[in-house]
């Protein structure tokens, strides 16, 4: 049974924080928030998890890249600040 990427991840028509495409046995995943230095947001984490949650037995290699000049500057300061206000210990 061949599984495929969710439609929104394989389409270049929709703007998402993560883009993915498969070429043979290679899955290319690209962080796509260059304006923020590809800072990690909750939406980006959700998109990444959705990509890896769909196993494809034909994929043997995952290549992680990023749009723009920066690979990833870390967590989005605005979102992480809100998370720390809600849970200062970070332990949930």
Over residues 23-64, the pLDDT tens digits come to: 999 999 999 999 999 999 989 999 999 998 988 999 999 999
> Which value, to the nearest 10 degrees, does the dihedral of the CA atoms of residues 37, 39, 41, 45 take?
100
- The CATH number that applies at residue 42 is 3.30.300.220
Do 5 and 16 touch, CB atoms closer than 8 A?
A: no
pTM of the model: 0.71
Q: How many domains does the chain have?
A: 1
pLDDT band for 84, please (50, 70, 90 cuts): low
Provide CB contacts within 8 A for 17, sequence distance 6+: 31, 32, 33, 41, 43, 44, 47
Tell me, yes or no, whether 92 lies in a domain: no
pLDDT given for residue 3 in this prediction: 42
Tokens representing residue 29 in the block:
């995943």
pLDDT given for residue 88 in this prediction: 67
Tokens representing residue 68 in the block:
């723009």
pLDDT band for 78, please (50, 70, 90 cuts): confident
Q: Quick one: which of 20, 48, 17 has its CA closest to 34?
A: 17
Tell me, yes or no, whether 91 lies in a domain: no
Range of the domain at 65: 7-86
Mean predicted lDDT score pLDDT of the chain: 82
């Amino acid at each position: 049974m061949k599984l495929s990427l969710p439609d929104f991840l394989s389409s270049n028509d929709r703007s998402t924080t993560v883009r993915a495409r498969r070429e043979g046995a290679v899955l290319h995943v690209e962080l796509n928030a260059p304006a923020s230095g590809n800072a990690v947001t909750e939406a980006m984490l959700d998109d990444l998890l959705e990509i890896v949650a769909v196993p494809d037995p034909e994929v043997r290699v995952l290549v992680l890249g990023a749009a723009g000049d920066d690979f990833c500057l870390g967590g989005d300061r605005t979102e992480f600040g809100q998370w720390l206000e809600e849970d200062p210990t970070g332990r949930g």
